[in-house]
Structure 1
Amino acid sequence: MQNKNIAVFFDCENISATFVSSIFEELAKYGEVIIRQAFKDWGSSANKNWNQNLIEEFAIEPIQVFSSKSGKNSSDLRVQRAVIETINKNVVDTIALVSSDSDFRDLAMYIRANGFDSFGFGESKTPLSLRNAYSTFIQLPLKKSYEKNKDTEIIKFLKEAIKNTKGESEDCLVSQVRSYLKNKNSSYNPKNLGANTWG
């Protein structure tokens, strides 16, 4: 458990409301979520799962974004504005973006460059360029248990991490392996494999 102050921003046009509960459960392991905002055209019939009951249950502030006539995703710009305003207030340590939209790549990089932890939550369709822009990327839906994976890539990157962090006595700490993997690729996260820790 950590004691961070967290802001979370939901791109409702790009992510399912069914993930909300598990996202808050995950964020609770890192600290308190003190800013909770969700962006969409609340008068639209699209994405009906994002509704008043959900907003009230999780105490999320609904931010109205009117649909653009040009067909562009208006909520992206509004999310960016909200994140920059939050960074300028300097009341949080961590900013979480919930979206699979590649347009948030530069925003995720901007968050990190300003000294904040940037958490990304997105589905399997989230492009690698966005995943790697975060400090930590967690794939949705969250896996509840470890699944044996025949893909040798997992063993390969764990071996590489051990090789690059072991000391003269040929051993290394799991914490060093974790830091190495996180620094190399934000998708190298035990949560994405259904485990809580690398241990």
Structure 2
Amino acid sequence: MKQQHLAVLIDADNSQPSIIEGLLDEIAQYGVASVKRIYGDWTSTQLKGWKPHLLEHGIQPIQQFGYTTGKNATDSAMIIDAMDLLYTGKFDGFCIVSSDSDFTRLASRIRESGVSVYGFGERKTPKPFVSACDKFVYTENLRKDRIAKEQIDVTKEKKLIALLRDAVDDAADFSGWANMGMIGQIVANKQPDFDPRSYGFTKLGELIRATGAFEFKDDDPLSNTRGIFVHNKRQKRRYN
């Protein structure tokens, strides 16, 4: 399979150095980070925590002075660079690392060009920016020093179960069984910031099983398809 070439643009003013290892590990699941740039005023002591990580991970620091009080020059520099990179036509996706809603229009514009946008930010990130991305990952789930999140009793999460039921029904074939991979894609399309780790689970399959609302089977003999298949217990099964 052809690997996606990604441009990684990090807003140092709105990101924490403690996420960097988890961030790059996460990005590696989507493709190759061909460009890695981080933006900020590197003459400021506020960004000193980032400096040890730049050389280690091959991240290019982009200097941006704050020319005007109250205006974020870093945002403007990132947006200009993103559009320049987009116009080269060399990238399959952009990873925008920030919790700032100012990147909402940028994410929408990149997607309009048929290029994927992966957003990364803290839970405080405004919803418009989250929704503008193909996928959004909360950086609290990426910190290597974080304490493992306790698994939530998802049997009581009505909105979550409703989301999963809808995704299973949308992905199901005539027999009522749905492929796990297709379920994950539909959930991501409906809710870009969905992440099993937010509920204390590593994988989507583990989370779905914990709800107790679905049946599972390995492989589908009717379609001769291999994989994990899920069935909504509320729906009548036509075939086993």
Is TM (by shorter chain) over 0.5? Answer: yes
Please state whether the residue corresponding to 2:132 is helix, strand or coil: coil
Matched, 1:148 2:152: yes
Give per-residue Cα distances to partners, 1:176-197, cap 9 Å, x unaligned.
Answer: 2122112212112335445454
**Counterpart amino acid of residue 119 in structure 1:** Y
Kept in 2: contact 1:142–1:194 (CA 8 A)? no
The residue type equivalent to 2:114 in the other structure is G
Name the structure 2 match of 1:7.
Answer: 7
Task: Give the partner amino acid of 2:151.
Answer: E
Q: Deviations over 1:82-130 (max 9, x none)?
A: 1001111122211000000011111111111111110000011011111
Aligned residue for 2:83?
Answer: 84
Structure-2 separation of matches of 1:196 and 1:89:
36
Q: Which moved more, 1:101-110 or 1:68-77?
A: 68-77
Q: CA RMSD in A?
A: 2.0
Deviation at 1:166, TM superposition (A): 2.0
Shift of 1:2: 7.1
Q: Residues 6 and 149 (structure 1 numbering): CA distance in 2 closer, same or farther, change over 3 Å?
A: farther
TM-score, length basis structure 2: 0.76
Pairs within 5 Å for 1:169-184: 169-184=175-190
Preserved contact between residue 37 and residue 62 of structure 1 (Cα < 8 Å)? yes
C-alpha separation in 2, matches of 1:46 and 1:119: 26
Matched residue of 1:132: which SS?
helix
The 5-angstrom pairing of residues 109-188 of structure 1 reads 109-142=108-141, 147-150=151-154, 151-188=157-194
TM-score by length of 1: 0.91
Which structure: larger Rg?
A: 2
Q: Which amino acid aligns with 2:161?
A: I
The aligned amino acid for 2:102 is: D
Partner residue, 1:21: 21
Unaligned segments of structure 1, at least 5 residues: none
Larger deviation, residues 160-169 vs 84-93: 160-169
Asked whether the equivalents of residues 122 and 138 of structure 2 are also in contact (C-alpha less than 8 Å), the reply is yes
Matched, 1:189 2:188: no
Q: How many residues align?
A: 198
What's the % identity of the aligned pairs? Answer: 28
Secondary structure in 1 aligned to 2:70? Answer: coil
Q: Which has the higher contact order (CA 8 A, sep 6+)?
A: 1
